Amino acid sequence: MAGTLLVILACLLWGMDTLIRYPLVERGINPVTIVFYEHCILSLIFSLGLIPNIKRLGEIKLVDLLSFFIVGGFGSAIATVAFTESFQFLNPSLVILLQKLQPIVVILLASMILKEEIQKPFIIWAAVCLLGGLLVSSPDIERFYHLILNDVGAVTSDVALKGYGLVGISILGWGAATVFGKRLSMAGFEPKSIMAGRFLTGLLMLIPFVQWDRRMILPSGEDYLKILVMVIISGALAMWFYYQGLKRLSAKTTAVAEMFFPFFAIIVNWIFLGKQLTEVQLLGGAILIFGSLVIQLKKY
């Protein structure tokens, strides 16, 4: 139960991230620039903690290096860039709905790579949690329905196909990051080591995507401070809680707990931005909590 609570706490902190990240993007700051600065700061923070263990770097196996690349290079960098770019080709509501497929990717990869046993009761209750997650996103479902009615070309055109490909990359990247992060934990790597490897490899993979011009300079010093606060909340603290939880949970159970992120994001927007929750969203949150609780109590 402690592992699930740690992942849920990480989801709460990720939800608070939206109070800073989206206003920065809406003001015209390139999302890749924001993510790049995040990785710079986080790489510095966690790499300092590795200095006492620097002699052990030569003991890292090739399969471990591959896992770090998937967690950081693919999951933290490429997937984030792909997700950001997908909004240029697809309706945002559709992008958010497609992201709900991520737990399915994690469960399948956990079965194939980590050999986690997927019991029938787990599948049933994971489906219940997924239903709750979809109800939480009911406004996006409604907007998608109206989009199909009024502009079906927006979801079937060649441009939309590019968007599907980008969303697919982000879903696979984030799902694989969970599974291979668990593999590193099973191999004996501590959370701080996994985070250091994640952000360092992510930083290296982000370099080709960064536009090295005046746009790298943020409009004001306050923006740098906001990114620093965001790094502490959703980067350092949230990821520490997340990997502590992942260390105690199976990858498939972690994927279920991660479904709380959109629910907390909506709660945060309700409290701080006055965006009211609908009855359907509250019902979805209750179903999500109930399904997750059953999985934990039954230890599926």
Q: Which residue has the higher pLDDT, 92 or 47?
A: 47
Distance CA 233, CA 226 (A): 11
Task: Provide the mean pLDDT of the chain.
Answer: 84
Tokens of 87: 């909004």
| pLDDT score at 117 | 87
Distance CA 9, CA 4 (A): 9
* Residue type, position 122, single letter: F
pTM of the predicted protein model? 0.85
Q: Does 6 have pLDDT greater than 90?
A: yes
User: What sections of the chain are H helices per DSSP?
Assistant: 2-26, 31-48, 62-68, 79-86, 92-98, 102-113, 120-136, 138-150, 158-186, 191-206, 221-230, 238-248, 251-257, 260-273, 279-298
Distance CA 122, CA 135 (A): 20
- Report which DSSP code applies to 276: P
| pLDDT score at 58 | 67
Q: Does 231 have pLDDT greater than 60?
A: yes
3-class DSSP state of 12: helix
pLDDT tens sequence across 52-70: 556 666 677 888 889 999 9
Angle 31-48/191-206 helices, nearest 10 degrees?
140
| pLDDT score at 86 | 81
Average pLDDT over residues 101-119: 89
Q: Does 142 have pLDDT greater than 60?
A: yes
| pLDDT score at 55 | 62
Q: What is the residue range of 138's domain?
A: 2-298
Quickly count: other Cβ atoms within 10 Å of residue 139's Cβ.
16
- Report which DSSP code applies to 215: G
Please count the structural domains in the chain: 1
Percentage of residues in the chain having pLDDT higher than 70: 94
Average pLDDT over residues 184-204: 88
Percentage of residues in the chain having pLDDT higher than 90: 22
| pLDDT score at 67 | 92
179 closest CA partner among 253, 239, 122: 253
Tokens of 98: 């497609």
Q: Does 247 have pLDDT greater than 60?
A: yes
